[in-house]
Amino acid sequence: MKGLVLSGGYGTRLRPLTHTGPKQLIPIANKPNILYCIEDLRDAGITDIGIILGTVMPEKVQEFLGDGSKFGVKLTYIIQGEPKGIAHAVNCAKEFMGDSEFIVYLGDNLLKNGIKSIPKKMKDEKADCVISLMPVKEPQRYGIAELSPDGKKVLRTVEKPKEPKSNLAVIGVYGFNPTFFKVYPKLKPSWRNEMEITDAISLLIDSGFKVVPHHVEGWWKDTGKPEDILEANHLILDGIESSNEGKIEDGATIVGRVKIGKGTVVFGKSVIRGPSIIGEGCKIGPSAYVGPYTAIGDRCQITMAEVDDSIVMDDTIIDVERKLVRSMVGKGTKILNANGLLPKGQRLVVGENTTIYL
């Protein structure tokens, strides 16, 4: 069995962070989203993995992942180019897949319990396709599955229906065999002018192939918006274990489960409250407050500030007597103290599609 991770799309809802890199590289608890997907595939015994690349700085994905050997997998890069839908992305991998069964994993999804049960379900059920499902509160926002009365087969899948007939969302992990490539030529673009994966699944059903549901246990997150990423950060940090590879000076306080990286120093009169994670080579304090539910990347400096329920990416400096809450701070950002500067007022260098609350 092979794997396919989709790393395309424009990430418009995550701008300005996606002006400088693909959304799948945005860190959650200090690990890029796409790496959680690759590790889930690896842990399910799938080590031959294709990576679908889009148009938003695909070279950054390749630079980070390399050939995959440092993560225990073998990676093959496949160019999709302009995003034309999930089904189109899968079809781009036809040559890579050959006659293999395969798992498709959208690179901006997170699953608490991984995907080990999906390959097993395909084998046990002798299925042509397995789709992962989870109940949602607003089914009209998702692709929705309709099941047989006994719940054992998928009868139909519909993309963002105005009047959903179930609350079971088709989430971003699918199992297929080569029958996918048999029905794909019959697929037509949707009203969004995309080749929808839900339409492809419906074609499989209409063509007499066996499509079965897999009900996901635990949490699932689609990290398409800033608030989703912050919530995913919560969920990941809830499972963190304490460790300290840095230095905690006298007078500093660590409360709860906190992970501190190599070379990081927590200076006096600072408090770190878990669950939180601090990367390598950071300087926290003096008199800083971090957490809970906060992830600080590598080589960051937090002085005097309070940072709560936030993600602060690598090489950031926050040196201001203010409190940041539910914030995402991009790599290399500087948030500095304006005291003593004239004329008085806020000084900003703000990129496109930025939101600031002062």
Model confidence over 264-302: pLDDT tens digits?
A: 999 999 999 999 999 999 999 999 999 999 999 999 999
Q: Which residues pair with 335 in a beta bridge?
A: 318
What CATH code is carried by the domain that includes residue 259? 2.160.10.10
Picking from 73, 84, 107, 90, the residue whose alpha carbon sits closest to that of residue 178 is 90
- Supply the range of the domain harboring residue 250: 240-336
Q: What is the pLDDT of residue 264?
A: 98
Rounded Cα distance between 270 and 306, Å, is: 10
Give percent helix, percent strand, percent coil of the chain, each to the nearest 5. Answer: 25, 30, 45
Angle separating helix axes 33-43 and 58-65, nearest 10 degrees = 50
Query: pLDDT tens digits, residue range 332-357?
Result: 888 888 777 767 766 666 665 666 66
Q: What is the pLDDT of residue 355?
A: 66
Using an 8 Å Cβ cutoff, are 35 and 68 in contact?
Answer: no
Using an 8 Å Cβ cutoff, are 167 and 158 in contact?
Answer: no
Give 237's contacts (C-beta < 8 A, 6+ positions apart). Answer: 29, 274, 275, 276, 277, 292, 293, 295
Percent of the chain with pLDDT over 70: 92
Residues 76 and 220 in one domain: yes
Q: How many residues does the chain have?
A: 358
Q: Cis (ω within 30 of 0) for the bond into 185?
A: no
- Does residue 156 register a pLDDT over 80? yes
- Does residue 241 register a pLDDT over 90? yes
Give 154's contacts (C-beta < 8 A, 6+ positions apart). Answer: 129, 131, 145, 146, 147, 148, 201, 205, 211, 212, 213
Residues 300 and 158 in one domain: no
SS3 174: strand
Q: What is the pLDDT of residue 337?
A: 81
Rounded Cα distance between 36 and 39, Å, is: 5
Q: What is the pLDDT of residue 12?
A: 64
Residues 29 and 45 in one domain: yes
Is residue 169 assigned to a domain? yes
Query: pLDDT tens digits, residue range 116-137?
Result: 989 999 999 899 999 999 998 8
Residue owning tokens 């300005």 = 16
Indicate the pLDDT class of residue 234, thresholds 50, 70 and 90. very high
The reported pTM is 0.88
Using an 8 Å Cβ cutoff, are 21 and 122 in contact?
Answer: no
Residues 59 and 134 in one domain: yes
Residues 244 and 232 in one domain: no
Indicate the pLDDT class of residue 306, thresholds 50, 70 and 90. very high
**CA separation (Å) from 298 to 12, 108, 133, 262, 279?**
26, 22, 36, 10, 4
What CATH code is carried by the domain that includes residue 121? 3.90.550.10
Kindly state the helix (H) or strand (E) to which residue 89 belongs, with its residue range: helix 86-91
Using an 8 Å Cβ cutoff, are 107 and 9 in contact?
Answer: no
Rounded Cα distance between 87 and 187, Å, is: 9
Residues 315 and 276 in one domain: yes
Percent of the chain with pLDDT over 90: 61
Chain-wide mean pLDDT for the chain?
A: 89
Per the structure block, which two tokens stand in for 253?
Answer: 């306080």
How many domains, the chain? 2
Domain C-terminal end among 236, 266, 293? 236
**CA separation (Å) from 29 to 24, 188, 301, 317?**
13, 39, 17, 18
Residues 86 and 102 in one domain: yes
Kindly state the helix (H) or strand (E) to which residue 334 belongs, with its residue range: strand 334-336
The better pLDDT of the pair 303, 172 is held by 303
Query: pLDDT tens digits, residue range 37-94?
Result: 999 999 999 999 999 998 878 899 999 999 999 999 999 999 987 878 899 999 999 9
Q: Which residues pair with 133 in a beta bridge?
A: 170, 215
Q: What is the pLDDT of residue 342?
A: 65
Q: What is the pLDDT of residue 228?
A: 87
Using an 8 Å Cβ cutoff, are 316 and 329 in contact?
Answer: yes
Helices (H), 17-69: 33-43, 58-65
Q: What is the pLDDT of residue 148?
A: 87
Q: Cis (ω within 30 of 0) for the bond into 292?
A: yes
Residues 197 and 277 in one domain: no
Rounded Cα distance between 264 and 68, Å, is: 28
Q: What is the pLDDT of residue 350?
A: 61
Residues 38 and 14 in one domain: yes
Indicate the pLDDT class of residue 309, thresholds 50, 70 and 90. very high
